[in-house]
Amino acid sequence: MSGVSLRPMRWWDIAPAARIDRDRFGETAWTEAQFWGELAQPTRFYVVAEDPDAGVVGYAGLWLMPPDSDVQTLAIAAGWERTGLGSRLLGRLLEEADQRGCTRTILEVRADNSRAINLYARHGFATISRRSSYYGPGLDAVIMCRDLRYAS
């Protein structure tokens, strides 16, 4: 993992990111066109994790409209879980949000994804709501928020 670097996502990263997305999220995965659309927006910041041998092994994206930001997506390739890569990617997004003057960041995460919920909690997110069937019938989302205005 020490050789993995984080850098801004570019157009040539879309195909590998979309492959990871399909592998991790199945029917709810983003298409390459959706990634293209995201990268074209000036209010977005996307980063990839790149291994010198394996290529793109993770990515994350953020919507920024200070003072608010929203984690759009975060995924790690199979076999790269539990390496701290998710935490590094999320940390980079939050660093960007902070640098651009965002004091509140929200996100949606599948209610049954306890590993991701725990990751977000470690980074200062708290559960604020739940959306019924957000990811499909019976697949609820937990809405989480990191609000620096109320941080101690």
Q: End-to-end alpha-carbon separation of the chain, Å?
A: 32
CATH at residue 106: 3.40.630.30
pLDDT in tens, 59-105: 999 999 999 999 999 999 999 999 999 999 999 999 999 999 999 99
Q: Which amino acid is at 23?
A: D
Task: Provide the domain count of the chain.
Answer: 1
Range of the domain at 87: 5-150
pLDDT category of residue 136 using cuts at 50, 70 and 90: confident
Q: Strand pairing of 68-76 and 104-110?
A: parallel
Measured CA to CA, the distance from residue 65 to residue 127 in angstroms comes to 21
Q: How many CA atoms lie within 13 A of 152 on its CB side?
A: 0
